[in-house]
Structure formats: C-alpha cells, structure tokens
A = this chain, B = another copy of it.
Amino acid sequence: MLVPYESLLSLVTGIFRDRGLPTERAAIAAAALCHGDLTGVTSHGTVNLTRLYLPLLDRGRIDPEADMHVRTDLGACVLADARRALGLWSASQAMELACARASRYGIGMVSLHGATHIGCAGHHAARAVAHGMIGLIASNCGGQRIAPPPGGTTPMLGTNPLALACPAGDAHPFLLDMSTTVVPTGRVRAAARAGRAIPPGWLAAEDGSPVTDATAFDRGEARLLWLGGEPETGAYKGFGLGLLVEILAALVPGAALGAVSSDGDSDDDIGVMALAIAPELLRTGFSEDATALFDAVRGWPAWDPGAPVAYPGWHEGERAARFRDHGVPIPAAIFEELRAASARVAG
C-alpha cells in the first residue's frame, strides 16, 4: 500500500514519543527510520521498528531520554559517550555537531561510544549536504560478530557500514551508503523471508563454494562474504575496509570491538564516527566543480540508453522525490505492525 510520507512520519514519531523519547528527538529518529522506505532501502526501514528498536527500548537497552556526555572537546574533535540513546537520533545529532565544528575549523569529527543501532548510515551523512558540506559516517556493530575474516573459521566483525554524502549542485546529492560485506544481513534476511534465492557471491559454505539459499545464513551453514568476494578478487580489501570502519568508528572512541567482544551476539556499545568537511571554507568554486562532476557522471556514454550511468544516491533521490509526492510503498503487514505498535501504547 502507499502511505503518505507525512502520515508515515507522524505515525512512527508517535510510537517513539510514546516509548519515552522527547518529541523533537522522536521526529528526528522517525525521519531516519523512514529514510529506508523513502529511498527504497526497505531492509533498513520501518520493517526494523518492531524487530529491532522497540524490543531494545522495551528491554531498557536503549535509553529514550539519555543525553550525549562529552568526554573530550578539542574544538575540531569531540569524543562523547552516547549513553545508550536511540542511535537513529544520536548519529544525526553527532553529524550536526560535526558540521557545527567544521563551520569553524573546515573539518569536524564527532566520535561516539555507547551508541545503539543507527539505521541507514547514509541518512545521517546526508545531513551535511544541507550545510553545503561533505559528511562521512562510519559505524561498527558493537561487539556483534557476523562475518569471519578471510581464512578464519568463526565470525569476527559486523557488517560495518560506511557512508559518504556530497552536494551535487541542484541534482540529487551523491550518497554512498554501504556495508563492507558484499551485502548487509538485512538483504539476506529479506530474501530468506520472501523465499527468494540469492545470487552466487553473497554467501559461501565452509569449503568456499557459493550458497544461494538465503536461509542457510541464519542456520549457521554459510558465511557472509566481504566486499571483493574471494581472496583473488579482493576479499582482503573488503575485510580491510571492515577493519578500517572498526578502527575509525570504534577503536578511536573506545566502543565495543567485534574481535575482542565478550558477547558476539550483542550490538550494545556501538561506535560511530561522524566527520564533516566544509569545502566552501577551503576554496571558491567547489559548488560549480561538484555540479560539473556529477553532471558528467550522469551524462556518461552508456551501453544501454535506457539505463543511464548513475552515481550512488541518484536512484535513491529519484525514488524519494516520487514517494514524497505519491506515497511511500509499505507492505500491508508492516503497516499493520506500525498501527498495532501505535495502538498498544496509546491504549
């Protein structure tokens, strides 16, 4: 079904507010969660409300009212304890603070430990674009272990997402939002729920042979591959990028680390890096050059004239514009879940 964007936002905002989040915070978190549905990244949208965020709130593992506690402030750099606040909100707060610092120093970094699941990393990174800035978000998965290192028998790290947003003039912003594994677990589980086979190259069996049955992952019969796939096609780069995120997002602030975790199932104490760069403070002509770059990508000679070349974020921007005008596609079962969650608290 198609749900008007403002109705969806307001429904989710109400659910978060009823669970104890202050109103403004609830609205920011709702926008972060609905970003998934709005851009077509449905694995990270409202489907996660009843599966991920509400149980964490109900069990007290997320504190709806906690404020960030700044531990070190060096001006261009802030290290803070997110104190188990809802990550959907605190990652956006971290990015806004990074932008404020970048507006004075050219660059700003906010490094969080004690965070909870942030949803789509790209949503938070994209906040920088509203300030004419470049935004980068890296987040680990706390102590959670999902993918094994190349040559290793057991999972070590999470899917460790990395996102970069950059203004593109009047066009949709550049927005890369990627797990450092071939795909995030959400896409494997969505295929498993739908009974769809997955392409070779996402999962592998112990002996390295491709697994196309998505349900094998949660049965522990297949490992999720790092970007690059096998060692000869770049698995060490994907694993290296996973560690890059672990270092920047979690080792820097002192958050939980997958490799030294005492509980490989827990995604408590997540680490987040929010970095903003203010290019217009550094030089003139940035905006014109960004427009020229992304226009050139869009106009690049394509094999199929019906499938023009695109940069990350372009298709998501098109979808968001369409869904804002005509309604956001939400499966009827998910919409019922949202209504039930809303009614339960209100009742």
Given contacts A152-B309, A293-B259, contact A202 B74 (CB under 8 A): no
List chain B residues, Cβ under 8 A from A251.
166, 279, 286, 289-290, 293
Contact of A149 among B71, B106, B309 (CB under 8 A): B309
Q: How many residues does chain A have at the interface if contact means C-beta atoms less than 8 Å apart?
A: 79
B282 touches A237 (CB 8 A): no
List chain B residues, Cβ under 8 A from A252.
134, 277, 279, 282, 286
Number of copies: 2
**Binding stretch for chain B, among A18-26, A30-38, A84-92, A297-305:** A297-305
A237 touches B227 (CB 8 A): yes
Q: Once the chains are docked, how many angstroms separate the CA of A246 from the CA of B151? A: 32
Q: Which of A72, A76, A236, A281 gathers most chain B CB within 10 Å?
A: A76
Q: Once the chains are docked, how many angstroms separate the CA of A343 from the CA of B309? A: 51
For the complex formed, measure the closest distance between the CB of A273 and the CB atoms of chain B, giving whole angstroms. 9
B72 touches A176 (CB 8 A): no
B301 touches A201 (CB 8 A): no
Residues 235-252 of chain A: 1 if any B CB is under 8 Å from the residue's CB, otherwise 0?
011111101101110011
A75 within 8 A of B: yes
A176 touches B234 (CB 8 A): no
Contact of A153 among B227, B260, B303 (CB under 8 A): B303
List chain B residues, Cβ under 8 A from A199.
232-233
A75 touches B105 (CB 8 A): yes
Q: Which residues of A contact B (CB under 8 A)?
A: 71-72, 74-77, 79, 105-107, 109, 111, 134, 149-154, 156, 164, 166, 174, 176, 178, 182-183, 199, 201-202, 227-230, 232-234, 236-241, 243-244, 246-248, 251-254, 257, 259-260, 277, 279, 281-283, 285-286, 289-290, 292-293, 296-297, 300-304, 307-312
- 18 residue pairs from A and B, CB less than 8 Å apart: A71-B283, A72-B283, A79-B282, A107-B109, A109-B277, A111-B282, A134-B248, A150-B309, A154-B300, A176-B241, A182-B228, A201-B233, A228-B228, A243-B312, A251-B290, A252-B282, A254-B285, A254-B286
